[in-house]
Structure formats: structure tokens, C-alpha cells
Amino acid sequence: MTEQDQTPVSAREADARVAIDIRAFQAEGRHDAARERYGELVARYQRRAVRIAYHYLRNAADADEAVQDAFIKAYMHIGTFREDLPFEVWFTRILINGCLDRIKARRRRERWLAPPMLDAAGVERDPAEYVPSRGPSPEDLVLADERHNRLMDAVAELPERQRMVFMLSHIDGRTSREVSAMTGLNESTVRVHLFRAIRRLRGLLVAPTVKGTVAGRSKRANR
């Protein structure tokens, strides 16, 4: 299904070797060498991590910070990493927990503050910057991002677990077993959440004639 399925052992062994090296360097006090070795892991999993965080948080700045924090945390706790578990599973779990914490903090903050003004890339901008614009008109921007926003809105409407399972399974291309290890959910529960997520997304994104029937069923399914 994915690259990881085709060569799971070699990638996993390589990650384990890197983790062992980093631990040894840290123990010897050779921090430069440890960081250099860790940079390999960062380069390997960075893009994957930003994709997950971006779809989870729906904000590029937040996703950037969440990914950075997750990599820092993984480096600091590399001593607790067990080689019997793939590094990316362990790391993804750290990342997801960080994203969940950020979402909770954001909800608390949004109770008191006005929502920030975000540009097309999801970066928070000074409202004054919007006034004299020489770029494309707001209508053009809206049209260009319409599909993207529809998708993001539909994914955001999913319940939290369905969204997490859908992103990891479908967008990140993980198997049910890997998603189970990353999220701590039962494998059959992962599959149920995935079915429900797909059905609900179909109801939200496909033509209105189909939407009526599918959305009705998805409401029943989400009870």
C-alpha cells in the first residue's frame, strides 16, 4: 500500500541504528555528533510530520511549532525509545499528543479572544497588511482556495478520532495496525472510525443529490 510496507524492515532497522548511535553519543557527551545523526531522522520524517500536523491543526504556524516541539521532545527522550517499535510510530504518537494539546489550548484561548486573521497559507497576519493589496483580488483568492477549503472544512467537521484515523490511514497511508500502535486504539476500532470518516466525507463533499442519503446515514452512524 505504501513505501513503508514495501521495505518496512530496512527502514525500521535504520531508524533503530540511528537511535542507538544518538544515545551512545549523548552518553559520551558528543552532542554535536548526536545532533548531526538526529538531523537524518528529522530530514526523513519532517515532511510527513508537517502534513499530519497541518491537517490536524489547520494552521501552518501552529503546525510548524507542533512539529518542532515534537522533534525536540523525541530527541530529549530518545533514551526511552524502544527499538522493537518503529521510530515513526513512536514519533507520530508524540506529534499527535502535541497537536491535541495545542487544539485544547486553542479552544481555551478562543473563548476569550477574537479569532486571528489568517492568510491563504494559514499564517496569522497583521490586519493592517490586508488593506492596500497589490496581489490577486479577494474573489480570486477565494476561488483558488475553494476546493482546498472545502476539503479542509469537511475534514475539520469529522469527530476528533475519525479525523485522526482518516489522516493517518488515508492521507499518510498507514495500515490499521500502524494506526492502532500510533493512536492506542484497537485495530477494529480504527477500521470502524475509518469507515465512518469516509462515509461522512462523502456526504459532505460529493454532489448534493447523493449527499442527502449518505449524510443521513452518517448521522446515524456517528451516534
Partner 1 sequence: MRIADVLFRQGHLSDETLTAVLLDGDRPAHLNRCDRCSGRLRELGRWLDDLRSEALAAADEAFPPERLALQQAQILRRLEQLDEPSRVIAFPAHVAAAPRTDTERRVAPAWVGVAAAAGLVMGLIGGQVWATLEPQRPAPPAVQADQPETMTPPGQPVNAELLDYDFERHVPDPLVFFDEITPALTQGQYAAR
**106 vs 202 by CB, closer to partner 1:** 202
| Gap between the Cα atoms of 209 and 207, Å rounded | 6
Amino acid found at 214: V
CA pair distance 35, 32, nearest whole angstrom: 5
3-state secondary structure of 126: coil
Helix (H, G, I), strand (E, B) or coil at 220: helix
| Pick 12 or 59: Cβ nearer partner 1 | 59
Q: Is 152 in the site for partner 1 (CB under 8 A)?
A: yes
* One character per residue 193-222, x = contact with partner 1 (rule: CB under 8 A): -xx--xx-xx--xx-------x--------
Number of residues that bind partner 1 (CB under 8 A): 43
Binder among 17, 77, 170, 177 for partner 1 (CB under 8 A): 170
Q: Which of 117, 121, 143, 156 binds partner 1 (CB under 8 A)?
A: 121
47-66: contacts with partner 1 (CB under 8 A): 47, 50-51, 54-55, 60, 63-64
What's the one-letter identity of residue 54?
Answer: Y
Q: Out of 14, 20, 151, 215, which residue is the one contacting partner 1 (CB under 8 A)?
A: 151
For residue 102, the number of C-alpha atoms closer than 13 Å in the C-beta half-sphere is 23
> Measuring CA to CA, which residue among 156, 221, 219 is closest to residue 193?
221
Alpha helices of 58-186 — where are they, by DSSP H? Answer: 60-76, 87-110, 138-144, 146-157, 160-166, 176-183
Query: What does DSSP assign to residue 170?
Result: I
Q: Which residues bind partner 1 (CB under 8 A)?
A: 31, 34-35, 38-39, 42-43, 46-47, 50-51, 54-55, 60, 63-64, 67-68, 71-72, 75-76, 121-122, 147-148, 151-152, 155, 169-171, 176, 191, 194-195, 198-199, 201-202, 205-206, 214
